[in-house]
A and B are shown apart, each in its own frame.
Chain A
Amino acid sequence: MARIWPFKFASGKGRSTPDYRIAGGLIDRARPLHFRFNGLAFEGFGGDTLASALLAQGVDVPDSVLVTRDGQEHATAITAAQELYEGIAAKSQYPWLHRLLRLARISTTDKEPPFSSDGLVETEHVYDYVDYLVVGSGPAGLKAVLEQAETGADVLLIERDFEFGGSLLNTEEWIDGQAPDEWRDNMLAKLAEMPNVRMLNRTTAVAREGETLLHVEEQPQNHLAAADPHLPFLRLRHVQAREIVFSMGKEDQIFPFENNGLSGVFNLEYALTLINRQAVLPGHKMILYVGHTGGYRLAASCLARGIQLAAIIDARDEVPTHCHQFARHAGIPLYPGHRIVRAQGFRRLRRIAVQKSGNAPLQRNIFLECDSLIQSAGVFPRSLPEIGEESTAVGPAGKMRAEALPKTRRGPLCEAQSRAGAVPQNLCKWRLAAAYPATGEDALAAGSREALAVHNTVGMADLSHLGKIDIQGPDAAGFLEQVFGGDVAALNEGLMRQVLLCKESGGVIAPVICWRIARHHFLLTMAATSFNAVQDRLLRLSEAEDTTRRLRMTDVTDEWGGLAVMGPGSEALLADTLPMSVMAEILPPMGFRDFSQDEFPVRLARISLATGPGYEIFTRAGFVDNLWTLLTEKGKAHGLTLVGTRAREILRIETGRPGPQELNGETTADDLGFPVSRETNPDHKIRAQLVGLKAVSSGPEGQKTPPLSVGMTLFEGDGTAPTGPGIGHITSACHSPFLGREIALALLNEGREREGTLIRAVSKDRETIVDVKVGRPGFMAHKEARHA
């Protein structure tokens, strides 16, 4: 927020006369506070601000300072608002920077988040609901709180100062027959006893949103000598109230004149606060410059304390008689109908140039010596910026939005994987095991070793993060058939089928495995990356077409944990572990069975992979750790290798299964090589089709081919220079340890017609060119291909 603070100071040397502290005020002289500013030691009192304590000792202070704690920069603070506490240390910031920021109406205090140590809450949000919110604790605010609280309403009072009382703190005018401080103390005591009243000081309203929502800011640490590790540095409270009562007092309007930002020029309200509350004189030779009768309050306050003003300059052409009488009675020279044209002085105010108002040419300046000028052209009520207005004030509060938590999901096997030495990886918003490196092995090498183990022995991978949607109801089968086409409704219980979820245009959203649990009960599983798209599409289809469907779709991803057991040794391992036979004739390909294992429910599915036999085994998430332990123990005798996401990606590319990279929203089932029942390319346009690529060596025998990488452009293999956009691009690539060469998946124009041909993959910088052989997706892992 761009706060225009009520006084303008530049940092500079100390003022000429050291003692500016006067009698009276609301400071606690029995509570001396020691502090440091720019390395020098000072003393103030309880109730002082940093500015008032420095001004009392004749030190000019900048608008804002850097508060340090334990020698470290803690936060920037507005000097006039920073509460003084024992041991506070502050230093000036760059004065030129502050002048620049002031010109841009930006305050560093409001823009920069406070510093924080690791592990501590920097900013916390609080969502508050009250019947009445009162902003400002001046006499009107306190009366409003009492009035509403007496009706039994829930009332919240906020005050930006560290003391409640608002204007009661800087006036000497009596209220309801009581001195202002006495009235304030009585009122606060009364409110403190009301359980339906909450009062927050050090809390600033920063922005309004509509009629009933206010964003307020608290800095709970800024008055503490030592950081409290349990408190946030900034608290943003979003208060929704039935009614908001603004009682924020008034702000001074300032006069435009040359050099009005010079040190020693004060706004009237702030000068009153210094004199009446903090018992500090703004100067020893003060001039009052006003444009309204209310400005004479300062002169009256000074008079009551026996302080003489050097002059009063009243900009009004017609000054009321009682103002003339007051000035005459107080013996203060009055300049009615005059205006200040310039403030003069080096670094701080020394004198002002005054002229008679009006347009008369060649008016002569009157020069008045002074060390402080207190000005108020008029007053206007304080206002708050509204959300949506062009303002920097909204700052971190923003709209009433929740703080976003990091959305890294953790599966039920995270801890077990960590114990097994997994290298973690955040992938598709899940924390997954990338690989399980052996001693001295890096994650890349581990991925290759794990992928090879799946071909040769047996590997086990975590499937808990797979997206899972439970679909139940008498209309479930019909709905799924409508969505996926084919004969999903005819799928027998205990069997599953791979289906494609497509857009109306035919573009594939995701491949999905559809499990038929019972007549009216299905389960859909899909890659974690596809889950949101699949769920959104299914919900839209189910709601848009028939809202009376007897159908329930539930995200059961977190309910089930799962493991993939893959490779030639998988059957033997499962037969050794599970209480039922898992021989192929009992569990057909793409079949599954439910049974109990050590009293917990297990669902075992036989998934056919091109690389060999594979099984998926699921149980309730709270038991999957038990299953993991059981299989890893039994697996020792079977040469079981734990498999991470790197190895699974290699296996995916080897088997030619499309992943998110291959599903660009336009690729159709036909393009991906799935059998289709209808023409998907009626216009016979050139289409990019999914193919497999295998690097072939064109150099001297034994020379290693360069690696294939995602994004490489494909060109004809006819020897011509690779120019133009090419005929396709690589979408996934890896080194296959099983084949001992570079392989890839690619979207290639008329790809199937090019099967068996040689083309070239070219890097973006055209530095790397690799000859590749085109085949069907997954052809690389086929036995025939291997032998060939």
Chain B
Amino acid sequence: MPDRNSALRGQRIHGRFGAAGEHPGVTFQEIREFSYLEISLWDWRRASLRSKLAELLGISELPESGKIQRLKEGHLLHLQTGSFAYLGAAAPAEILEVAITPEEGAVVPLGHARCLLRLSGAMAVAVLKRGIRQDLRDTSVAAGTVLTADIGGIDILLLRPDATHYDLLVPRSHAQELWRWLTLRAAQFGYKVL
């Protein structure tokens, strides 16, 4: 399969920008190759269905709502009761697409509909606080948390897989606006684009 074209083509320039300093406050990275599926299970209370999903992904238990479970090649996100998302390598996504039958649930591939941006660095959360109205303190958004949010009216999915970085799943058609917004806000802290 050919490489997918970036939604930020012509916008994302590698380098160090914004305020000078020894270390950039924020580091941005666009993750280009990933699969993203949203999974809705019709009968979420059925234990056998939960077990099937967990087995397919090689985990013993599904994460609680709003939490992220690390997988071998990606992450399973529990978006809300009965609604999950898989983010990671292509192979498990292909298995899920086939294995979940229409009688069990719906699987919608949305990897191309999203742009995946990774923010790390000491001031990453300070940049996000300039657009996201939810409480982003560690007590509310601990490592292993996923939440839906919006920045300037654009709906995004915010993931904090671990304490070192945040991942933003951004609608592809809004990615350029959001990229400009993020880099403008990050300029005061100095930022680097990988």
Contact = CB atoms under 8 A, between A and B. Distances in A.
Nearest to B114: A558
A189 B135 CA distance: 28
B102 A472 contact: yes
A124 B152 CA distance: 11
B89 interface: no
Nearest to A621: B112
Given A473-B102, A519-B102, A129 B137 contact: yes
Nearest to A520: B102
B1 A470 contact: no
Given A129-B137, A620-B4, A402 B106 contact: no
A559 B113 contact: yes
Contact of B103 (A128, A474, A557): A474
Interface in B1-55: 1-2, 4-7, 9-10, 18-19, 38, 40, 42
Interface stretch (A283-291, A305-313, A407-415): A407-415
A125 B128 CA distance: 11
Interface string A376-417: 000000000000000000000000101111111111100100
B154 interface: yes
A231 B114 CA distance: 30
A554 B131 CA distance: 25
B67 to A, nearest CB: 20
B4 A622 contact: yes
Given A127-B129, A402-B151, A621-B113, 19 more contacts: A230-B18, A405-B151, A405-B181, A470-B108, A473-B42, A474-B102, A521-B102, A552-B40, A552-B105, A556-B113, A558-B171, A559-B109, A559-B112, A559-B172, A599-B2, A600-B1, A620-B111, A622-B111, A626-B2
Interface string B153-194: 110000000000000000111111110010011011000000
B22 to A, nearest CB: 16
Contact of A127 (B4, B133, B176): B133
Contact of A124 (B2, B112, B130): B130
A473 B109 CA distance: 15
Contacts of B135: 129, 240
B185 A121 contact: yes
Interface string A158-182: 0000000000000000000000000
B5 A408 contact: no
Contacts of B140: 129
A405 B185 contact: no
B102 A127 contact: no
Contacts of B142: none
A234 B58 CA distance: 50
Contacts of A557: 113, 173
Given A125-B131, A558-B171, A473 B106 contact: yes
Given A412-B172, A620-B4, A125 B108 contact: no
A622 B175 CA distance: 13
Interface string B115-140: 00000000000000111111111001
Contact of A620 (B6, B38, B106, B112): B112
Nearest to A619: B112
Nearest to A419: B10
Interface residues of B, number: 53
Nearest to B153: A404
Nearest to A465: B173
Nearest to B132: A127
B143 interface: no
Nearest to B139: A154
A405 B7 CA distance: 17
Contacts of A229: 187
Nearest to B152: A405
B181 A126 contact: no
Contacts of B7: 410, 412, 621
Given A125-B131, A558-B113, A559-B109, A411 B2 contact: no
A3 interface: no
A599 B1 contact: yes
Q: Do most interface residues of chain B lie in helix, strand or loop, or is the interface mixed?
A: loop
24 contacts: A126-B130, A127-B130, A154-B137, A230-B187, A230-B188, A404-B152, A405-B152, A405-B174, A407-B177, A408-B177, A410-B174, A410-B176, A412-B5, A518-B102, A520-B102, A552-B105, A557-B173, A558-B172, A559-B112, A560-B112, A620-B112, A621-B7, A624-B5, A626-B5
Contacts, number: 139
Interface string A408-447: 1111100100000000000000100000000000000000
Contacts of A519: 102
Per CB-CB distance, the 10 closest pairs between chain A and chain B, nearest first, are A622-B4, A405-B152, A409-B173, A558-B113, A559-B113, A472-B106, A520-B102, A552-B106, A129-B135, A620-B112
A405 B154 contact: yes
Interface string A124-139: 1111110000000000
Interface in A568-624: 598-600, 620-624
A217 interface: no
A671 interface: no
B42 A121 contact: no
A124 B113 contact: no
A250 interface: no
B177 A406 contact: yes
Interface string B78-116: 000000000000000000000000110111111111100
Contacts of A622: 4-6, 111-112
A625 interface: yes
Contacts of B102: 472-474, 518-521
Given A230-B18, A412-B172, A558-B171, A125 B130 contact: yes
Contacts of B113: 556-559, 621
A18 to B, nearest CB: 42
A409 B174 contact: yes
A550 interface: yes
Contacts of B106: 472-473, 552, 554
Contacts of B114: 558
Given A550-B42, A557-B173, A625 B185 contact: no
Nearest to B180: A405
A407 B171 CA distance: 12
A124 B127 CA distance: 11
Contacts of A410: 7, 173-177
B81 to A, nearest CB: 13
A625 B5 contact: yes
Interface string A86-124: 000000000000000000000000000000000001001
A45 to B, nearest CB: 29
B178 to A, nearest CB: 7
A409 B7 CA distance: 11
B153 to A, nearest CB: 5
Contacts of B154: 405, 407
Given A124-B185, A559-B110, A402 B152 contact: yes
A165 B135 CA distance: 29
B97 to A, nearest CB: 12
A624 B113 CA distance: 12
A620 B132 CA distance: 29
A238 B42 CA distance: 40
A91 to B, nearest CB: 29
